[in-house]
Amino acid sequence: MTNATYTDYPFTSNGVNFISRINSDSPLAKRISQMPADVIASVNVGAIAEMIGDASLLTREELLSELERVNAGATHAFILLGENK
């Protein structure tokens, strides 16, 4: 069990909703929280494009698999699949 708390930053890449989740104890958490929301979103969209490509071309299962790969070993920040219709 963990007592960690997180801050979520939702963003959309190629029409797919994601959440960038940052551990509140991360050394970068304060700096990230002071950035404008559009800058945080832009950085995350770029990360998705670089690590996954066009998310709209993947099925939900493929996206979850790619996010599992991307998040492997992560301790401070994670990218999660947001609510999508």
| End-to-end C-alpha distance for the chain, whole angstroms | 31
pLDDT band at 85 (very low <50, low <70, confident <90, very high): low
- If you search the block for the tokens 């299962």, which residue do you land on? 61
Q: Read off the pLDDT band of 84 (50, 70, 90).
A: confident
* Mean predicted confidence (pLDDT) in 44-52: 96
Token code pair at residue 33: 């929280």
Helices then strands, each counted (H, E), the chain: 3, 3
